[in-house]
Amino acid sequence: MAIDVHKLTKHFGKKIAVNGIDIAIPEGQVWGFLGPNGSGKTTTIRMLCGLLTADAGDGTCLGYDFRTQTDEIKRETGYMTQKFSFWEDLSIRENLEFVARVYGLPNRRQLVDATLEKLGLTKRQKQLAGELSGGWKQRLALAACTLHSPRLLLLDEPTAGVDPKARRDFWNEIHALASEGITVLVSTHYMDEAERCDQIVFISAGNLVARGTVADIIKQSGLITFTIAGDNVRPLVDKLKGQPGVQSVAFFGALLHISGYDRSLLERALAPFRSDPKLVIKETEASLEDVFIQLQETTAKDSTGVPR
């Protein structure tokens, strides 16, 4: 197990940020970490790499006690922060050189040269990191935090604000790293990214809500989803919301998704619109996004925490 922690807990003042989470990730897997903003994803990642002290919980990270052996963990972990956190007033090369020196890596020059070559930044190595575009910054950050060949990668929303092409390249890189045996925990808001993960952990308001493969999570949810297509579906949103049995109503592109747990109640809610010839109502398999919006809405109602 690359990560094996139990009852991970963190408070900020009276607010509970992470509430007794268990995470166990086998080595060489890519796990997705999902949850609404402020649900405790960043806090959890920071606790795993020793940037925050856990209030409670025990376990290991790369075989080291995550509470006491943070130095050992740091040496073998790459952590990519949500916001670009390399030095914008240093050049690309200087940033990589600094990281290489901090970790005391041998053959520094060759290593940095090779990394620049792989990134395709050899010609721009003297450019300041602050001048790079979002996508390049993200690539540089990934290269810098994998420079010391870590066994574990913790990525905190690495693809926020990055264009689709760069996102796809980034994920190819992640899978390449995983095939080399690196364990990856990546937090994200993108469903397509979540679907690329071996397993998913979903947390809400500091609580672990669901865990498993995409198929497992969809199946476990027991969610039934109908789509409505047509010329003028927009007014239906207000009519369907709050109907008994209707858990969520949301647009997916031009399609309106209506989800719930009780088939007969859903059918009853949809019945008045069946007669409209302009509308096409079909049952579909619930998507991951349906499940997550559903999970998010139910847990938000249950939680006594800060509304988000």
Partner 1 sequence: MTGHRFTIHRVAAMLGKEFLQMRRDRMTIGMLIGIPLMQLFLFGYAINMVPRHLPTVIVVSDPGPFADSMIAGLNNSSYFAIVKATASRPEARQMLAENRVAFAIEIPANFSRDLVRGAAPNLLVEADATDPAAGSYATSAVLGLATTALRDDLVGPLAARAAQPAAFNVVVHNLYNPEANTQYNVVPGLLGIILTMTMVMATSIVLTRERERGTYENLLAMPTRPFEIMVGKITPNIFVGAFQAALILSVARLVFHVPMIGSYGLLVFAGTVFITALLAVGYTISTIATNQMQAMQMTFFFFMPSILLSGFAFPFRGMPEWAQWVGEVLPITHYLRIVRGILLKGNGMVEIWPDIWPMILFLFAAGTIAVLRFRQTLD
User: Considering only residues 74, 108, 168, 219, which one is a binding residue for partner 1 as defined by CB under 8 A?
Assistant: 74
User: Can you give the chain as a three-state secondary structure string?
Assistant: CCEEEEEEEEEECCEEEEEEEEEEECCCCEEEEECCCCCCHHHHHHHHCCCCCCCEEEEEECCEECCCCHHHHHHCEEEECCCCCCCCCCEHHHHHHHHHHHCCCCCHHHHHHHHHHHHCCCCCCCCEHHHCCHHHHHHHHHHHHCCCCCCEEEEECCCCCCCHHHHHHHHHHHHHHHHCCCEEEEECCCHHHHHCCCEEEEEECCEEEEEECHHHHHHHHCCEEEEEEECCCCCHHHHHCCCCCCCEEEEECCEEEEEECCHHHHHHHHHHHHCCCCEEEEEECCCHHHHHHHHHHHHHHHCCCCCC
User: Considering only residues 84, 190, 252, 273, which one is a binding residue for partner 1 as defined by CB under 8 A?
Assistant: 84
Question: Residue 59 CB, nearest distance to partner 1 (Å)?
Answer: 18
State yes or no: residue 99 binds partner 1 (CB under 8 A).
yes
- Between residues 153 and 291, which has the closer beta carbon with respect to partner 1? 153
State yes or no: residue 14 binds partner 1 (CB under 8 A).
no
Question: Residue 241 CB, nearest distance to partner 1 (Å)?
Answer: 35
User: Considering only residues 30, 34, 40, 46, which one is a binding residue for partner 1 as defined by CB under 8 A?
Assistant: 46
State yes or no: residue 83 binds partner 1 (CB under 8 A).
yes
State yes or no: residue 81 binds partner 1 (CB under 8 A).
yes
State yes or no: residue 131 binds partner 1 (CB under 8 A).
no
Residues binding partner 1: number (CB under 8 A): 21
User: Considering only residues 85, 133, 179, 220, which one is a binding residue for partner 1 as defined by CB under 8 A?
Assistant: 85
State yes or no: residue 53 binds partner 1 (CB under 8 A).
yes
Residue numbers of the site for partner 1 (CB under 8 A)? 46, 49-53, 71, 74-75, 77, 79, 81, 83-88, 99, 102-103
